[in-house]
Amino acid sequence: MRATVVNRIRGLWCALAVVCVLVDAPRVDATEGSDSSKITRLILLGTQGGPRQTGERAAPANLLIVRNKPYLIDAGNGVVRQLALAHFQPSDIHQIFITHNHDDHNADWGTLMGLAWTGGNTVPITVYGPPGTQSMLKGYLQYFAPNSASHWMDSSRVPPGETMHARDIAGPGLVYQDENIRVTAVENCHYHFAKGTPGYGWQKSYSLRFQTPDRVVVFSGDTGPCGHVLADFAKGADILVHEVIDLPAIEQTLRGGGVTPDRLERLMNHMRTEHSTPEQVGQTASSAGVKLVVLSHIVQGRGGDDAAYIDGVKKFFSGPVVVGRDLMEF
């Protein structure tokens, strides 16, 4: 069995019997002494909302492990290093799911595929993402051509194109299914393109629902207030991994950074309409009746003060709330 990821996590929560999270205690691995084939595990690889980069959090990425098989959800910059910290290698990953085409979420799925190939992988790795994902792979294969040529050391290697595959998510509904997971998508409210802009009419942003033999885990992706769309989609989920922003802190930072009034208003309108406050997350979680809220894709932050986020969610949601940290495991 892979080495256990050890983290100290605020809070106490054992309700799902997947992992018992203790105050100031290492993570307890519930798979020890049990049948791991029946356990669904979630590891937060990166919890920083982008495009801002910080030294305390990695870019957005999540790992869902079902019957010891890992599935990657989003692949921001540095995802391969985060996988290594969680004791996984690029060649362990064969299904990647991208919520939307912003570079903090999609920057490194190509790099992961390339490093897996360089390391000798011969098993196909497929990325499922919004429209444009297949065209991105074509571009990546062209970009990777000099690298693959320089690594062609023996006749047993297969061409990179035989191991690197991409599928555009056509729209809401079933995305992928195998013996471990059933993945469905719904379009959320992260994109509001004006007519005439490059993304208008074809770029999509999705929330993803993963049904495993023993759990339902929903990833909001980036989304603003969306009516009942996400609440209906996440109905009854065991874990809702939801983005969150700190609007007052963002505005304060922007005002202090010399941003012009017009740009400030545009940026704040984007934050208000295309991202979610703690209170909005709480409303969604309450309507959906989820069992646990895990906050991730943290934008701006409050200097490590989790209570400010948790209190906002709990204005509307009575269940347990955890502010995510890189490599937390559930």
Cα-only R_g, the chain:
20
CA angle 30, 34, 37 (to 5 degrees): 95
One-letter-per-residue 3-state SS of the chain: CCCCCCCCCCCCECCCCCEEECCCCCCEECCCCCCHHHCEEEEEEECECCCCCCCCCCCCEEEEEECCEEEEEEECCCHHHHHHHCCCCHHHCCEEECCECCHHHHCCHHHHHHHHHHCCCCCCEEEEECCCHHHHHHHHHHHHHHHHHHCCCCCCCCCHHHCEEEEECCCCEEEEECCCCEEEEEECCCCCCCCCCCCCCCCCEEEEEEECCCCEEEECCCCCCCCCHHHHHCCCCCEEEEEEECHHHHHHHHHHCCCCHHHHHHHHHHHHHHCCCHHHHHHHHHHHCCCCEEEEEEECCCCCCHHHHHHHHHCCCCCCEEECCCCCEC
- Determine the Cα–Cα distance for residues 44 and 221; give it in Å rounded to an integer: 13
pLDDT of residue 8: 34
Domain ranges in the chain? 19-323
Nearest to 1 by CA among 91, 88, 102: 88
Its sign, for the CA torsion 83, 84, 86, 91, is positive
Distance from the Cα of residue 193 to its chain's centroid: 23
- Contact by Cβ (8 Å): 218, 239: yes
Nearest to 281 by CA among 299, 305, 304: 299
Share of the chain above pLDDT 70, in %: 86
pLDDT digits 0-9 by tens, 247-283: 877 777 777 777 888 888 887 777 777 789 999 999 9
pLDDT of residue 175: 98
Give, in words, the CATH class of 19-323.
alpha beta
Angle formed by the axes of helices 109-118 and 133-150, nearest 10°: 30
pLDDT digits 0-9 by tens, 272-319: 777 899 999 999 999 999 999 999 999 876 555 788 899 999 999 999
- Contact by Cβ (8 Å): 293, 313: yes
Whether pLDDT at 240 is above 90: yes
Lowest mean pLDDT among 13-17, 182-186, 229-233, 265-269: 13-17
pLDDT of residue 215: 97
pLDDT digits 0-9 by tens, 7-64: 433 333 333 333 434 323 234 333 334 455 568 999 999 999 877 777 889 999 999 9
**Quick one: average pLDDT of 201-216?**
94
Question: Which amino acid type is present at position 63?
Answer: L
Residue pointed to by tokens 């986020």: 309
pLDDT of residue 127: 98
Mean pLDDT of the chain: 86
Angle formed by the axes of helices 306-314 and 278-288, nearest 10°: 50
- Contact by Cβ (8 Å): 163, 117: yes
Q: Which residue has the higher pLDDT, 229 or 1?
A: 229
- Contact by Cβ (8 Å): 282, 308: no
